[in-house]
Amino acid sequence: MIQHTGWRQMNKNNMHKAELGVDMNRARDEVWKSAKLTHRFLTGVRGAIPLAQTQIEVMLRLLAMRRKPVRRFLDLGCGDGVLGAAILERYPSAAGTFVDFSEPMLEACRSKLPSNRVTTLLLDYGKPAWVEAVAGTGPFDAIVSGFSIHHQPDRRKRALYRELFRLLEPGGWFVNIEHVAPANPITSVLFDDAMIESIHRQQPQSSRAAVRRRFVTRADRSANILAPVENQCRWLRAIGFAAVDCYFKIYELAVFGGQKPK
């Protein structure tokens, strides 16, 4: 049975988190700087994301709409660099700037990617000063982000999107593969069930009940500040992005973004 009351409480909690801003950022910092949690995410939750390869393919198709090879790109909140790795493979002459505030994530990124085409920067983009540190490696033909920006309060999300707009070359694309707020309780139930089933397939030695318990009580869940994809597309249009749309969505996962006008 769908727990409507629990879903309403989840939305209230998200609103409360957005209001707390600084405190939530501090909690997020402590969570994602943990090497143990980073390992668990990269070897468990990340690999369980439904249709993850399809989401990356949608990202690459959007970048191809520029009709020019990507030369410089930014992978924001890069984690182990899975999105940037796909761009490097598709565009052999491209070089990427990979930004994360978690050293364990950057270590995972460095271990997988060619050092001669990659710049890694330990930065917290929750603070506006991060822009100065990356400006020297831009402007960028593409900026991508995967399951990262949803940790920011909504006010900071909007400010960040303005910063990304300024960092793009005219004609460049911003593509966000993101965890977004569900529009109704059914969406949330379907998302949780899909994730739990996928993780369980990866971890058959654990019971489904144990996998569910770990998933719903995971440490990083409290750091999520989800926003509806419709709202975020509206923010991008207001900033000046063109061709803004949600190009793919399944449950609470969305691929959306836009292009800086030429």
Which of 16-25, 90-99, 135-144 shows the lowest per-residue confidence on average (mean pLDDT)? 16-25
Q: What is the pLDDT of residue 29?
A: 52
Q: What is the pLDDT of residue 219?
A: 75
Rounded-to-integer distance, Cα 182 and Cα 178, Å? 12
Position 44 confidence tier, pLDDT thresholds 50, 70, 90:
very low
Sheet holding 253-259, edge to edge: 118-122, 95-100, 72-76, 140-146, 168-179, 253-259, 242-250
Assign residue 241 a region (left: φ > 0; alpha: ψ between -120 and 50; beta: otherwise): beta
pLDDT surpassing 90 at residue 209: yes
- Looking at domain 4-259, its CATH class is alpha beta
Position 220 confidence tier, pLDDT thresholds 50, 70, 90:
confident
Q: pTM above 0.75?
A: yes
Q: What is the pLDDT of residue 180?
A: 98
CA atoms within 13 A on the CB side of 99: 25
Q: What is the pLDDT of residue 46?
A: 60
Q: Which candidate, 15, 10, 5, places its Cα nearest to that of 154?
A: 15
Which of 65-79, 130-144, 219-233 shows the lowest per-residue confidence on average (mean pLDDT)? 219-233
Instruction: Give the start-to-end residue ranges of the domains of the chain.
Output: 4-259
Q: What is the pLDDT of residue 218?
A: 83
Rounded-to-integer distance, Cα 77 and Cα 74, Å? 9
Position 15 confidence tier, pLDDT thresholds 50, 70, 90:
very low
Mean local confidence (pLDDT), 21-43: 47
